[in-house]
Structure formats: C-alpha cells, structure tokens
C-alpha cells in the first residue's frame, strides 16, 4: 500500500492540520462583498484564496479576543 503524501495548508492563518474542509456560505450585500474582496486583495494579493485568508485572519483574531 502506497503512503499518501501529508496534506499541507498554504494559508498562514489556518490551523496546520489535515482536517476535512467544509464550505461556508452566506449572503451579504454587494457593497460589503466588494469591500471585503478589496481588503483581501490588499492584504493577501489579488489571487485565489485571498478572501479565505482574510476570513481566517479575522476568525483567529476574534478567537484570541472573545474565546479566552
């Protein structure tokens, strides 16, 4: 049996685990979406995964403040 390569996470604010990933979907106004997208691009580059990275950064900061 061939050993499977270990999954790596290329998102710095994501936990470094091999947990199963699940999508998260919700609706927001067009204006908020555009602001969020613009901020994600500024912080993480205008590339695939920037919004996910921004969400994970925000979530990490939220947990540090609110879930002590």
Sorting pLDDT into bands at 50, 70 and 90, what band is 24?
very high
In this prediction, residues 29-57 reach a mean pLDDT of: 97
Average pLDDT, the chain: 84
In this prediction, residues 14-29 reach a mean pLDDT of: 83
Residue 61 CB-half CA count within 13 A: 6
- In angstroms, what CA-CA distances link 32 with 12, 16, 35, 54? 24, 29, 5, 14
**pLDDT score at 14:** 57
Sorting pLDDT into bands at 50, 70 and 90, what band is 7?
very low
Assess contact for 18 and 6: CB atoms under 8 A. yes
Q: What pTM was computed for the model? A: 0.69
């Amino acid at each position: 049996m061939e050993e499977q390569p270990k999954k790596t996470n290329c998102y710095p604010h994501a936990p470094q685990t091999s947990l199963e990933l699940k999508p998260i979907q919700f609706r927001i106004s067009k204006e908020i979406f555009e602001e969020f997208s613009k901020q994600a691009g500024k912080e993480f580059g205008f590339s695939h995964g920037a919004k996910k990275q921004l969400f994970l950064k925000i979530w990490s900061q939220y947990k540090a403040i609110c879930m002590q």
